Amino acid sequence: MKPMISLFVTVMLISNIQAQVPIYKDPKQTADSRLKDLLNRMTIEEKAGQLNQLNGGFFTGPALNDPGQKAKMQMVRDGKVGSFLNVIGAKETRAIQEIAVKESRLGIPILFALDVIHGYKTIFPIPLAEACSWDLSIMEKSAGIAAKEASSAGIHWTFAPMCDISNDPRWGRVMEGAGEDPWLGAQIAAARVKGFQGSLNDAEHILSCVKHFAVYGAVEGGKEYNNVDVSRVALWNKYMPPYEAAVKAGAATVMNSFNVFEGVPASGNKYLVTDILKKKWGFGGIVVSDWGSFGEMIAHGYAADEKDAALKAILAGSDMDMEAQVTIKNLAQLVKEGKVSMQAVDDAVSRVLKMKFKLGLFDDPYRFSDEAREKATLFTAANRAEALEAAKRSIVLLKNEKNTLPIAFNGKKVALIGSFADSKDDLLDFWIAQGEAKNTVTLREGLQNRFGNAASISFAPGYGLDGVANEAMIKEAVAMAETADVLLVNVGLSGKMAGEDRALAFPEIPAPQVALLQALKKTGKPIVALVSSGRPLILTAIQPLADAIVQCWILGTETGNAVADVLSGAYNPSGKTVMTFPYAIGQIPVYYNAFNTGRPIPEGTDPGWKSRYRDIPNKPLYPFGYGLSYTSFTYGGLSLDKNTAGKNETIQVSVTVTNSGSVAGEEIVQLYIRDVAASIVRPVKELKNFQKITLKPGESRTVKFILLPKDLSFSDAAGTPVLEPGLFKIMVGGNSRDVLEKELTIK
């Protein structure tokens, strides 16, 4: 070829290639035009593919030869997968992303999702425990660290935070939530969303997912996957606030719940998904099903078959089908038959694609899958330090008689008793992402780390991990206890009993552990019960047997170190319960923000013919908002800046809190209201604000709250806030039971 001609051909070739770069792949184009261009190019099958989320697994190494994995990879090549869950690690995610980007017709990248619930490699306390810190910045930070770790391992999307309000410790999943209070739950949900997502403009944050929408925490009997039957006023006042706060905080995705609402499964519930979420709240992100929940509409008795399930899900407004594969199999046909409009399909698909554009995956599909970054990011000393901080603040001191705690370990003979205290496996729960038992500090190790040189720490298992009573083990523990100065007894349940599919009919301290404590009590030695559990257990049986009770929950990587710091007083405990601790199983559900009933039992009166049980008290063992410190706090001088106010006025509430003990401590000052008479009955107490303050010994502080009109209103059955004139009680205290009270009249 002559030089001139060859130059001409080259120029032509380059301009041809440029002309061929599709708009959707061109970062210089607007997000909108890129999305439109892509939608225009997609077949209905490819659109259905974007709505299909599959369970992953491994796609490299020996797994490559697995026929199931091969079939999934072929689906990726065919554009039939929009997202995977449970593909883990920079290497794996990259391998599959390459197939999607290089081998599928349009090269649309995959979204990788995982349940990153309380950490990825560095494991933080379970969310229920962390909520007991009432420390929103710690919760935001721990979600941020979880996101940073997960994102370095190729994860774009977590299925958290769980925003389900629950009153039922039988439900294993209370560990994933923030407890029983809608107001606190809303603050925590928003903090967690912010932590996971940041502003979603870097590769260090991930999409969050508000779940389980809606009302999954109200499952009957606390049984997993069970039914729910709640009224609309309960929906709006009790259950919606955390979901709504999370959506308002910018949550990118929402998950359908497994349950029905008003007889219609959430995945096919147009009222929940379209009317409330997408229209009323203007949610523009992805609605993903829960695992198989589109298909489960058949078992519920709401869909006739898979095709009907797919139809009902998309007509309700649900977008992505996790694992049921009813959408991928039926959507094209449903469109062909005119049962589903292309507009509805495009709306759902756009929501998925928008997130992929937002995360920058069309421009750099591998920006989250970087093995070097993964190595440098996971389980760092800095992350562990934050996990320790969160763990210390999550612990709740429930009882501390005769100042049993803190313990001056120097020169002491300490008997540590209880199999869990020496078992790494039992420290971790169901939702640990890539957390590893070997990285987790047991109680025994924590005590040894902190006081091994100063104190003599002996250990006896006391009970078997199988939960069976064992006389020999009890004898061994008692013999050791006889020579000790103080007994630390780790009781409760294995972490493995916390999480999904862990409903319990008996959420209590197992009988062999009670027997152990009874035997130890006879030694006359001071007993500290360290309770491990992912839920409030019934502690009534051990209450008289232990001098001190420390609710340790499931604390993650730094468990042992955190508990040791609290036992020694290196950290003065400040956590407060976010779920009521029932007195007995038969009391469940028991919660602080209940209605008064027509027959309450006024303090100090004969309870005859009132709302009660014959065999147990009405009061729980420990109320909501409760937790002790090594110091004490006194409350006084509660005042309002006005006793009568108009509907639009704000009210200033002041109270003086004094540290009346001898060490510095943190106190969670809680503000409650009661709307005394209203068009629908309102709870006896509703939390409306709190402040966490630190006071030196002898120090007093006047804590001020501003009550806003919205704090005094409730929602009607349509979800509209109403503020009705009349009498209100304004209460402040260190827990939901012991409060000071003033009256306020709204004109």
* 193 versus 545: smaller Cβ distance to ligand BGC: 193
* 225 versus 271: smaller Cβ distance to ligand BGC: 225
Q: Does 500 bind ligand BGC (CB under 6 A)?
A: yes
What's the min distance (Å) between Cβ of 265 and ligand BGC? 14
Under the phi-then-psi rule, with left for phi > 0, alpha for psi from -120 to 50, and beta for the rest, what region is 553? left
DSSP 215-235: TGGG-GGG-TT------HHHI
* 177 versus 627: smaller Cβ distance to ligand BGC: 177
Closest residue to ligand BGC in the complex (CB): 159
Tokens of 57: 């697994």
Buried b (16+ CB within 10 A) or exposed e, 567-576: bbeebbbbbb
CA triplet 236, 237, 240: central angle to 5 degrees? Answer: 50
Please list the residues that pair with 486 across neighbouring strands.
414
Given candidates 92, 140, 164, 290, which one binds ligand BGC under the rule CB under 6 A?
Answer: 290
What's the min distance (Å) between Cβ of 159 and ligand BGC? 3
What's the min distance (Å) between Cβ of 207 and ligand BGC? 13
* 431 versus 705: smaller Cβ distance to ligand BGC: 431
Residues 143-162 touching ligand BGC, rule: CB under 6 A, are: 159
Residue 652 CA to its chain's centroid (Å): 32
Q: Which residues are catalytic?
A: 290
* 322 versus 638: smaller Cβ distance to ligand BGC: 322
Site map (CB under 6 A) of ligand BGC, residues 461-490, x = contact: ------------------------------
CA triplet 279, 284, 287: central angle to 5 degrees? Answer: 90
Site map (CB under 6 A) of ligand BGC, residues 73-112, x = contact: ------------x---------------------------
What's the min distance (Å) between Cβ of 620 and ligand BGC? 28
* 212 versus 674: smaller Cβ distance to ligand BGC: 212
Residues 544-583 touching ligand BGC, rule: CB under 6 A, are: none
* 159 versus 591: smaller Cβ distance to ligand BGC: 159
* 290 versus 374: smaller Cβ distance to ligand BGC: 290
CB count in 10 Å sphere of residue 294: 31
What's the min distance (Å) between Cβ of 223 and ligand BGC? 14
Residues 190-219 touching ligand BGC, rule: CB under 6 A, are: 211
Give whole-number Cα distances, 129 to 317, 371, 556, 644, 646, in Å.
34, 32, 10, 39, 39
Amino acid at position 290, single letter: D
Q: Does 226 bind ligand BGC (CB under 6 A)?
A: no
Kindly state the number of chain residues that form the binding site for ligand BGC, as judged by CB under 6 A: 7
Closest CA to 746 of 677, 647, 679, 678: 647
Rg of the chain's alpha carbons, rounded to an integer?
28
Percent helix, percent strand, percent coil in the chain, to nearest 5? 35, 20, 45
What's the min distance (Å) between Cβ of 62 and ligand BGC? 24
Element (H, E) at 127: helix 127-131
DSSP 607-644: -TTSS--SSS-SS-SB-TT--B-SS-EEEEEEEES-SE
For 17, counting Cβ atoms within 10 Å of its Cβ (0-12 exposed, 13-18 middle, 19+ buried), the class is: exposed
Given candidates 291, 521, 612, 663, which one binds ligand BGC under the rule CB under 6 A?
Answer: 291
Q: Does 429 bind ligand BGC (CB under 6 A)?
A: no
Given candidates 46, 115, 149, 711, which one binds ligand BGC under the rule CB under 6 A?
Answer: 115
What's the min distance (Å) between Cβ of 475 and ligand BGC? 43
d(CA 161, CA 242): 10
CA atoms within 13 A of residue 685's CA, in its CB half-sphere: 23
CB 205 within 8 A of CB 179: no
Residues 605-644 touching ligand BGC, rule: CB under 6 A, are: none
What's the min distance (Å) between Cβ of 211 and ligand BGC? 5
Positions touching ligand BGC (CB under 6 A) are 85, 115, 159, 211, 290-291, 500
